[in-house]
Amino acid sequence: MFASPKNLLQLQCQLVNIPNCITLFRLILTALFIISVSQGTHTCSVVALVAFIFAAASDWLDGYLARKMNLVTSLGKLLDPLADKILVSAGFIYLSSLGLCPVWVTCTIIAREFMVTGLRQIAVEKGVVMAADRLGKWKTTFQLTFIIACLFHITLNYGYSAWLSWLATLSQPDHSIVPLSLWIATILTVLSGFNYLWAARHLLSDSHSS
């Protein structure tokens, strides 16, 4: 039985709302970031930096608006974490290609995201909701901090005004902020991944099913 035009319109209004549009825009910004970093010019590095910063900021904004406006939808639950994973993975892969991030760290971060996605899929099939934990949110914060700091370093390497010298110093790979944010992000990635795995341990056992 086909849905009526009225029901289709209601469904469209439910799915395409402000928070979901912001999430979709984050995917577009991620694509812009990937295209820009592949060019290797100063102008493109600035575009990549700005695109990544706005994409990272939208990660907080869409979730806040969805809760504030009571516009949490199934599409949003799918797209929001997907957009986050693509953005962070793209950033770490790019930095690893430049030697600014150990490859094993990037692999660990991406592996953790695959694992959590798989666990959530198993949970959905068994009618269980796995909410994001606080460690995961802090993990994302430090991951984004590291990536943005490195992007500033790459951009400012082309040259900068005297008033940006402090930022150039802070974004140096050997400065405390960059390695500290990386290692905290890595530790939180492992810990939050273990937390998800431990919380879902009963879902991985089929001994209770008949």
The continuous run of DSSP H or E covering 210 comes out as none
**Coil, strand or helix at 57:** helix
Q: Is the pLDDT of residue 26 over 60?
A: yes
Q: Which amino acid is located at 79 in the chain?
A: L
CA 45 to chain centre: 20
Rg (CA), the chain: 20
CA–CA separation, 210 and 205 (whole Å): 12
For the entire predicted model, the pTM comes to: 0.83
For 122-168, the pLDDT digits (tens) are 877 777 767 667 888 899 999 999 999 999 999 988 776 666 777 77
Share of the chain above pLDDT 90, in %: 41
The candidate with the shortest Cα–Cα distance to 43, out of 171, 51, 25, 165, is 51
Where do the domains of the chain lie? 16-204
Looking at CATH, the fold of the domain delimited by 16-204 is given as Four Helix Bundle (Hemerythrin (Met), subunit A) (1.20.120)
Each residue's pLDDT tens digit, 83-95: 888 999 999 999 9
N- to C-terminal Cα distance for the chain?
34
Looking at mean pLDDT, say which of 15-29, 63-77, 161-175 comes out highest: 15-29
pLDDT value for 150: 94
